[in-house]
Amino acid sequence: MTIPLLALPHVGSTPPSVRARAFVFEDPRSRELLERIHQLAPSDATLLITGETGTGKEIVARHIHELSRRNKEPFVTVNCGAWSESLIESELFGHERGAFTGAIGAKAGWFESADGGTLFLDEIGDLSLPLQVKLLRVLQEREVVRLGSRQPIPIDVRLIAATNVNLEEAVVARKFREDLFYRLNVATLALSPLRERPGDILALARYFLDLYTTRLGSGPVTLSREAAERLVEHPWPGNIRELENAIHHALLVCHGSRIAVADLRLSTLLPKTPAPPPGNAQRSSLEDALLDLFDQNVPNLYEHVEETIIRAAYQYCERNQLQTARLLGISRNVVRARLAQFGELARRSRSCSPAPGASACGAGGPLNHAGKIETGAAAAAHG
């Protein structure tokens, strides 16, 4: 099977953007991705594509459309993060004349424009919560209602959504609706960053070399061995788009017909790395517990949480007040006052029942005649 090279159409002088404009399938990870694309493309299932900015999500979405039964119908692409809140609803669902100031005529939205074909919603994580509700309703009912109208319009659209954020984390943070997430997450494609598929780097570099030498009207230009090695070693935080920019710049400044390492303008930025899983898991568990309490409308929630934390820390430190204070990062006086407030100190003194003249069980020392724990010289004097 011939391994395809995919590219977005270049119309005139395309303005710079962060999206990738070419994709190859030379690396083993990319070949696995291609197999999955061929599995998912023939269906009409809603598809969610994830990956860092510049990894080629729109190119993959277009290829899926081309391989589907809808390939003779429109492919409409929308960047959800490129429109203001006041405009995107009208653009998505359309409007009738007079629906708002400036609506001088009726206009079909992107869902209607993509009828029979595919609608690609890029950066869907940028949609506001109210718009997420309306999008969910469209996906459930398979119809849209234009702004200023009550007449539903049936649609036949395959939706492909893409995002560079973790939607599961957005759901936990209440920034993305859980029901919409599950509606979108029918089938998924995860695009690896370029640094994780090094087998694609030189193939992409050669493609961009050919593209820009043709545009610039220069003769054939090749990469020096050192430049090729440097390209493969680079972490590519900007992914495919950064590689395209690097090749374009190198062709503008290189002398002769070979690109040297010095001709490459490579970013010194490091790729984003996720936080360590244990920390993420702990934070997520704590946030989940708090969100559950919020939903339960627990009375005096702050006092309840504070008491639970101090009691748990006190038990963890084997009922040692000083260690509890150090663990929580607060003063021992605060710990002692809270333990007394929660009845821990009184309960301990009753449960221990020390013999006459013996010290109490508390970690702080013997009790004085006022019932308070003594420390330092006072404790020694009673010893």
Confidence of residue 45 (pLDDT cuts 50, 70, 90): very high
Checking if the pLDDT of 82 tops 50, the result is yes
Predicted confidence (pLDDT) per residue in 186-221, tens digit? 899 999 999 999 999 999 999 999 989 988 888 889
CB of 133 closer than 8 Å to CB of 178: no
Burial annotation 38-51 (CB, 10 A radius, 16+ → b, else e): eebbeeeebbbbbb
Domain end, chosen from 218, 240, 263, is at 263
Distance spanning both ends of the chain, measured CA to CA? 88
Checking if the pLDDT of 32 tops 90, the result is yes
Q: Is 242 exposed, middle or buried (0-12, 13-18, 19+ CB in 10 A)?
A: buried
CB of 109 closer than 8 Å to CB of 157: no
- By residue count, the chain amounts to 383
Residue 249 is part of a domain; what is its CATH number? 1.10.8.60
Domain end, chosen from 241, 263, 285, is at 263
SS3 151: coil
Do both 204 and 142 map to the same domain? no
Say how far apart CA 239 and CA 366 lie, in whole Å: 67
Domain limits for position 242: 195-263
CB of 43 closer than 8 Å to CB of 36: no
Please tell me whether the overall predicted TM-score, pTM, comes out greater than 0.85 for this model: no
Q: For 12-38, what is the mean pLDDT?
A: 76
Q: How many domains does the chain have?
A: 3
Torsions phi, psi for 36 (to 5 deg): -70, -35
Predicted confidence (pLDDT) per residue in 121-137, tens digit? 999 998 889 889 999 99
Kindly write down the DSSP assignment for every residue of 298-356, as one continuous string.
-TTHHHHHHHHHHHHHHHHTTT-HHHHHHHHTS-HHHHHHHHHHTTHHHHHHHHH-PPT
Structure tokens at 326: 């150090």
Domain end, chosen from 170, 192, 214, is at 192
Residue 186 is part of a domain; what is its CATH number? 3.40.50.300
